[in-house]
Structure 1
Amino acid sequence: MYPSDLSDAEWELLAPLIPAAKSGGHPRTTDIRQVCNAIYYHLKTGCQWRYLPKNFPPPSTVYSYYRKWVKKGVWEKINHTLRQMVRQQVGKSPQSSVIIADSQSVETTEKKGDVYGFDGGKKVKGRKRQLLVDSLGLILKVIVAEAHGQERVLAATAVMELLEENPKLLEKVALMWVDAGYSGDKFALAIWLMIQARVEVIKRSDKKFKVLPKRWIVERTFGWFNWYRRLSKDYEKLSEMSEAAIYAVMTRIMLRRLVS
């Protein structure tokens, strides 16, 4: 057993959220719990799929399930379900009234096709992870784009996509916290027109490092990524796989929190 493996209590929460086998045909013989353990091991250690330990199902089988769930948006759906459970566990409403936007530029291992660029401000060649998180720092939406992508455009796109996919998640939102990179009347107006939320820019008062009120929440979320080596860089060829890896990591974090 590895530290990344699911406990019985965690599996009890996750199992109902995993897609059931198709009816008819040959019955499923693969141990899905072990498939999930292998996926979390991969994310935690950062190993390549073919280097998964032999006590897991064959790497091709594990990757096949993982890729299938990515295409169906399973990781994002599980993320939303567990996020609401975590909020309720701490006495919060299932839906947050506050959202926070921020981005993180990360290197890629090589040039990754169209979704690749250079962030001149942070001197990073690769991709940008744009997050929308709730008041607990739990992810509502992630978009992986070129490193030179404009924060305001990406944040507005994330809100728009979430509004189209799952509008209930934004019904109670009245306020969005952002840093100075998202300032501007056009961005604030766009957010208001989409979800009738006010944009509040949290600015630094000087150049000295300070833990800014409210801004530390999303910075902590980025810090959680450091626990999983697969997220140390963007190793994926497809941006949808990069996004799925972030959602999957968050499901592992939330499962641990729910049973602790």
Structure 2
Amino acid sequence: MYPSDLTDDEWKLIKPFFPDPGYDKPKNGRLRDWPYRLILDAIFYVDKTGCQWRQMPSDFPPWGTVYTYFRNWKLDGTWKMVHDALRDQVRINARKCPQPTAASIDTQSVKTSFKRGLRGYDGGKKCKGRKRHIAVDTFGLILVLWVHSAALSDSLTGHIILACIKKHFKKVRKVWSDCGYRGFLEEWFYRRKPKRELEITKRPQGKFVVQAKRWVVERTFGWFEGSRRLSKDYEQLPESSEFFIYICMIRMMVRRLV
């Protein structure tokens, strides 16, 4: 058993999202060789340790089988569905409404590996790779996630994140951001005469000071560091990068709920 494996209580919590009727009573064909719990343990292991698919320990299912499930659940939206359901449950357990009323947005630039795929150069952070663009609630749980080229500025892409917040989280009335969103985003936001407020916090002069309300999004980026797969962007497709972030958050929320 590995530290990243699901415990019995954690599996009971997440099992309803992965119904497994075909393992015991297949409708057609032969019995499947591997239960969903072992598949999930293997995916959590890859996310936590950062190893390559082909380098998984031999006591897990074959890497091709594990990757196929990861890809299928990515394409059919299972990872996103599980993530959103657990996020709502965490908020309910904290006696909060599933729909947040405030959010914070920010980006994190990360280097990419030598694989082919979308990438760009972030002149501000002096980093060639991709940006993780997220919006989080007051608990630091992800509301909106978008991985894109690091060459795109925060101000020019922030309106897409705000549009997603408006579409899927209609109760949000206030959004915090840092000074990187000044300029185009401010003009675009207030030109539309919105019912919500955008507060762009200014960086204080002198020594480092924790910014009120905005530190939660920085803490979320810190949670990513607990998964070595996220220490650098190793994926060829930005969509795969997004779903490894969802997997990291799923593992964290499952432990919080047990």
TM normalised by structure 2 equals: 0.92
Matched, 1:251 2:250: yes
Matched, 1:189 2:190: yes
Q: Report what 1:55 is aligned to.
A: 59
- Pick the aligned partner of 2:68 from 64, 68, 90: 64
Moved more, 243-252 or 68-77: 68-77
Structure 1: distance between partners of 2:242 and 2:156: 17
Structure 2: distance between partners of 1:99 and 1:150: 20
Unpaired runs of 5+ residues, structure 1, are none
Q: Which runs of 4+ in 1 moved over 3 A?
A: 19-24, 161-164, 190-193
Instruction: Deviation per CA, 1:175-221: give whole Å up to 9, x if none.
Output: 0000011124324337865xx32101111221421111111100000
- Flag the 1:24–1:189 CA change in 2: closer, same or farther, 3 A: farther
- Flag the 1:56–1:2 CA change in 2: closer, same or farther, 3 A: same
Structure 2: distance between partners of 1:224 and 1:16: 26
SS at 2:175 equivalent: strand
Unpaired runs of 5+ residues, structure 2, are none
1:174-253 alignment, distance < 5 Å: 174-184=173-183, 185-189=186-190, 193=194, 196-253=195-252
Shift of 1:159: 3.5
Q: Is the 8 A contact 2:105 2:176 kept in 1?
A: yes
Structure 1: distance between partners of 2:163 and 2:19: 27
Shift of 1:111: 5.6
Q: Report what 2:143 is aligned to.
A: 140
- Flag the 1:191–1:218 CA change in 2: closer, same or farther, 3 A: farther
Q: Which amino acid aligns with 1:177?
A: W
Structure 2: distance between partners of 1:59 and 1:100: 37
Q: Which amino acid aligns with 1:57?
A: P
Moved more, 28-37 or 62-71: 28-37
Structure 2: distance between partners of 1:256 and 1:245: 17
Matched, 1:25 2:1: no
Q: Report what 2:48 is aligned to.
A: 44
Q: Is the 8 A contact 2:165 2:172 kept in 1?
A: no
Shift of 1:151: 1.1
- Pick the aligned partner of 2:79 from 75, 81, 84: 75
Structure 2: distance between partners of 1:119 and 1:211: 24
How many pairs does the alignment contain? 252
TM normalised by structure 1 equals: 0.91
SS at 2:129 equivalent: strand
RMSD: 1.9
